[in-house]
Structure 1
């Protein structure tokens, strides 16, 4: 049986350009090269669309949306430098990860024009402007703001659908991240209105020829399974959507963490392990 290449379609955050990560970006790229990855996508977060959407650690560091926009430009320059520098050891793809706060999709469109990334990862981390993935307290605040768990899930997948329609991201990141702090997510994913939205979004991903991120970072946080959960993974297989592993690393220590486990699951379930690479978005 042929060896399956180690890749990460959603990796490469660093403390140099992300306030909740560690290490310099070059150290992260070096770690991927040292571990024998065939290719990796650097997917730093885009800057916030306004100061209102700064995370607490960014505020504590004295950052502003304007400062983070400037930092993002430095990230793109450094990522391109590393892409050239390490070309003989590893293929580095330079991308970024979206946000979905008010104004973020328009800002992402502008960043694509200015920086011409190799690809983007379409991710949703906020619902009604609330960063539900930041902490359990923020997650509960989002549940209360939306009026219940079913409404939260529906709002998340609605926002995801809008993002996919407008940006057509080559990769859709951690598709079911909304289950992060929900111990009853298997039940809640089965609400008819939620199921309808999941099916709609997956069919849109299929029709647009996009890739799903099989994000194993959930495992380092104690989750039972990566994003995608098993029922969604099964639907993706049925719809013939390409699924590619991502470690969503946030520093050297998490480069490749749990990746082999994710690759094993995808191989056992019959997914194509000749991993599809994302391609440059049209301008």
Structure 2
């Protein structure tokens, strides 16, 4: 069944979460711990959406060869908690043009309930270096912006929104993840969300989302203050 069906089924209860990472990727606990806590809090639906495997070394996504174990574990837990909470199986797929494989066939080949399409790494069209805009370290965001986009925030932010637009136009998925991820480490330092150029980019993407009838998640990660930490910069911009 489609994710739209699940959402319509639960719209009156509406205590659901479709974007959950466990320790199979960059979450902090076993999947079952999230399930028991969801039941305790009265959730009626919980979707697991680990970061899909990436073709380069990283610390936040499923590692090569672990997809099978992840899928088997979620399917096992679906049977154990049947009737207590609806458990869904998904992936959060990274869109990096020319680097990651497309989303086509991912859902059917792995038997997923849905796919979240997201951008965590922004490609500079002049080279293959990626700007990592996620993670806990603010200096990774700042250093990447300076190194890969010459400190030009408008150029870097525009590249992010245009990459989202490419994903919407070229890939097949169900939910667009954390639409405004680009502002998470901004915190009003580099640009204002009220500036005309920024609003134009947002509105262009929203129009595309409407045209493609995508679901937009409400994600609060951009509202959380992040600390700068003490780790040094990596040349790739990855954690």
TM-score (norm 2): 0.76
Residues 1-283 of structure 1 aligned to structure 2 (within 5 Å): 4-11=13-20, 13-15=21-23, 17-18=24-25, 20-51=26-57, 54-55=58-59, 68-103=63-98, 105-128=100-123, 129-134=130-135, 135-144=137-146, 145-147=148-150, 148-184=152-188, 187-219=191-223, 221-222=224-225
| Structure 2 Cα separation of the partners of residues 107 and 80 of structure 1 | 25
Report how many residues are paired: 207
| Structure 1 Cα separation of the partners of residues 99 and 53 of structure 2 | 9
Shift of 1:164: 1.6
User: Secondary structure, in 3 states, of the residue corresponding to 1:96?
Assistant: strand
Shift of 1:159: 0.7
Determine which structure has greater relative contact order: mean sequence separation of CA pairs < 8 Å that are 6+ residues apart, divided by chain length: 1
Runs of 4 or more off by more than 4 Å in structure 1? 102-105
| Structure 2 Cα separation of the partners of residues 113 and 104 of structure 1 | 22
Q: Is the 8 A contact 1:149 1:188 kept in 2?
A: no
Q: Gaps spanning 5+ residues in structure 1: where?
A: 59-64, 224-283
Shift of 1:104: 5.4
Shift of 1:4: 4.6
TM-score (norm 1): 0.65
